[in-house]
Structure 1
Amino acid sequence: MTGSEVPPSFRLAYVPGVTPTKWVRIWNERLPGVPLTLIAVSPAEAPDVLRGGGADAGFVRLPIDRTDLSAIPLYTEATVVVVPKDHIVATADEVSAEELAEELVLHPLDDTLDWERLPGRPANERPATTADAVELVAAGVGVLLVPQSLARLHHRKDLTYRPVSDAPESRIALSWPEDETTELVEEFIGIVRGRTVNSSRGRPTPPQPKSKRAEKRADKPAAKGGAKGGARQKPAAGRSTGKSPRNGSGGSGGAKGGKRAKPGRRS
C-alpha cells in the first residue's frame, strides 16, 4: 500500500485536566470517515510527543518550549488550593497566597504553574506527580495549589478546594508541529475556534444553483422596469377607457384627442 492509499486519521494528544469530548463529537459529525484517536500525555512529555510525530496536534499547558511548534492559546484556568474538608481554608470563599504563608505547600514535579515564588513553606521532597500530591493532602501532609480542572480531576470526598486570588493562572493551548499544518490540523483548529461548516475555513457546502441566483438578479430589473413602465402607461390606460367625452376634454389626453378630431372640423 502506497502512502496515498493510507486511509486518513487524526491523532490528538491532551494533558490531564483537558476534556476534549465536545471537540471530538463535532469532529466525528463533520468528518465521519476520518477516525480521531485520543492520546493522554503528561504536561512534560506533550511537546516531545508532537515533535516526534506521535500526535498530529495536542492540548498542552503553557508555557512550553515553542521550538518547532505552533500554539494557539485557548482559555485560562483559575488556580485553587486543595485542602482537607475540615481545614480552616475550607471555611473561606477565597484565599490569598499570603494567607497560606504558614502552610506546607506541596510542589509536584509535573506542576506547570509559572511561580515567581511558591507561597507557604516548602516540603522536604517534591511529589513526583499531582496525583501523588493529592494523596499526601488527603493524609494531612500539606496543601496543594493546582489549576481548577486538576482539582476536579482528582476529586475526593474528603477533600475540597478554594480559589487563590493572586496565584498565577494556567493557560491551555492547542499546539502542533509548525511544519505539519495539514488540512486536518486546519480542520481541527476551526472546530476548536468555533467555526461552522459554512465559514471560510470550514468544510465547503454545495454552492447555490446558478439558476436561482440568476432568477433573483432577473427579478430586480423586472421590478424596476415594471414600475417605470406603469408610470408611463397609466395615462394611456386612462385614455383608452375614457368613453365619456369629459375624459377626453382635459389633460394631456384631451390634447391628444383634439389633434385626432381636427380633420373632422376641417370638413
Structure 2
Amino acid sequence: MAKGGGAKGGGRSGGPKGGRKPAVRRGPAGGSPQRAAKARPARVTTPAPDTDVRPVPEAVASVFRLGFVPGATPGKWISLWRDRVPHVPLELVPLTVDAQLDALRGDAVDAAIVRLPLEADDVHRIALYEEIPVVVVAADSALTVADDLGIDDLVGEVLLVPVDDVLAADIPGTLAAAPGAPLDTEAAVATVAAGVGILVVPMSIARLHARKDVAHRPLRDGPVSAVALAWPAQRTTPEVETFIGIVRGRTANSSR
C-alpha cells in the first residue's frame, strides 16, 4: 500500500493535472524558443542624413552643342564625353573661323574649338595646342624633294591667300596671285594642283583638303596657328565645366 500510495503521491506532486508536460511555446514553423527569438525582425532605424555628403548632380541640359572650326579634331574628347555623360548627347556644330565669335555670343553653341586670336572679354578661352604651318604644292613640284622648307625656299613662288585664310602669313620674296575671283581654301588647293602657285596653311587644313595631285611640306620658322577651347563667360554651365575637365585630361574621379 505504501509503495503504491507513494507512486500516486509522486504523480500528484509532479506536473499539472493529468500528468501532462508543461506547454512549451514554439516559434514559427515549430522551431525552438531560441530560434523564434532569432527570427523576430530587428527594429530598423533611419540614420540622420550626413550633411557632409553631397550627391553628384546630373547634367540637366538636353544636348551639349560643341562648335569646331575646320581642321579641329575633337574625336577623342567626344568619346570620353559619351562615356562620362551618356545622358547628355553631344552635338557637333561646324563653324567657319570668321563666324566662331558670333556663334559663341549667340545661342548656336555651348562651347567651341576655335582658332586664335579671338579677342573678346565676354568669352573665356583655354589654349589647347599649336599647329605648325605647311606649304601645299603640286605633287610634281621641285619643292617636294626636300623634307621641309624654309622661307628662302619660297622666293619667287606665287602665294595664294584664300578668303578663309587663318595664318595671315607674310612670306618675303613671294609673288601675289593675279587678280581674280576670291578663292576659299578648297578652291585654292585645286588651283595649286593645277600647277599655279603655293598655299601656306596649318597642317590639319592641308590634311583636310588632301588630294593625290598635291603634297605638303612643313615650313620652318613659319607662323603657327593656336587652337583653343572657348565658351561664353556668362554660360559656364556644368556641361561646359565637364568638357573643360575632359580636354584638360582629368579623369572621371578627379576633383576640379
5 Å-filtered alignment, 1:173-184, equals 173-184=228-239
**Given the superposition, is the C-alpha separation of residues 19 and 118 from structure 1 closer, same or farther in structure 2, using an over 3 Å criterion?**
farther
- Helix, strand or coil for the counterpart of 2:109? coil
Answering whether residue 133 of structure 2 is matched by residue 68 of structure 1, we say no
Instruction: Give the aligned partner of residue 120 of structure 1.
Output: 174
Of the two, which has the highest radius of gyration? Answer: 2
5 Å-filtered alignment, 1:108-257, equals 108-116=162-170, 120-125=174-179, 127-201=182-256
Answering whether residue 92 of structure 2 is matched by residue 38 of structure 1, we say yes
Q: What runs of 5+ residues in structure 1 fail to find an aligned partner?
A: 1-5, 202-267
Instruction: Give the aligned partner of residue 134 of structure 2.
Output: 80
2-structure distance, mates of 1:133, 1:183: 41
**Given the superposition, is the C-alpha separation of residues 118 and 136 from structure 1 closer, same or farther in structure 2, using an over 3 Å criterion?**
farther
1-structure distance, mates of 2:201, 2:172: 12
- Helix, strand or coil for the counterpart of 1:39? strand
2-structure distance, mates of 1:177, 1:118: 38
Query: C-alpha displacement at 1:114, in angstroms?
Result: 4.4
2:158/2:197 contact within 8 Å kept: yes
2:139/2:193 contact within 8 Å kept: no
Q: Partner amino acid for 2:80?
A: I
Q: What runs of 5+ residues in structure 2 fail to find an aligned partner?
A: 1-59
Q: Give the number of the structure whose residues are more often helix, by fraction.
A: 1
- Helix, strand or coil for the counterpart of 1:172? strand
5 Å-filtered alignment, 1:4-23, equals 7-23=61-77
Which of 94, 97, 104 is equivalent to 1:50?
104
Alpha carbon RMSD of aligned pairs, Å? 1.5
Identity fraction in percent: 48
Equivalent residues, number: 196
1-structure distance, mates of 2:214, 2:76: 28
2-structure distance, mates of 1:127, 1:96: 27
Structure-1-length-normalised TM-score: 0.70
1-structure distance, mates of 2:128, 2:169: 21
Whose relative contact order is higher, 1 or 2, with alpha carbons under 8 Å and at least 6 apart?
A: 2
After TM superposition, the structure 1 stretch with the greater mean CA deviation from structure 2, 117-126 or 175-184, is 117-126
**Given the superposition, is the C-alpha separation of residues 68 and 116 from structure 1 closer, same or farther in structure 2, using an over 3 Å criterion?**
farther
Structure-2-length-normalised TM-score: 0.73
1-structure distance, mates of 2:230, 2:172: 28
1:13/1:59 contact within 8 Å kept: yes
1:111/1:130 contact within 8 Å kept: yes
1:13/1:39 contact within 8 Å kept: yes
Poorly superposed stretches of 4+, deviation over 2 Å: 114-119, 124-128
Instruction: Give the aligned partner of residue 104 of structure 1.
Output: 158
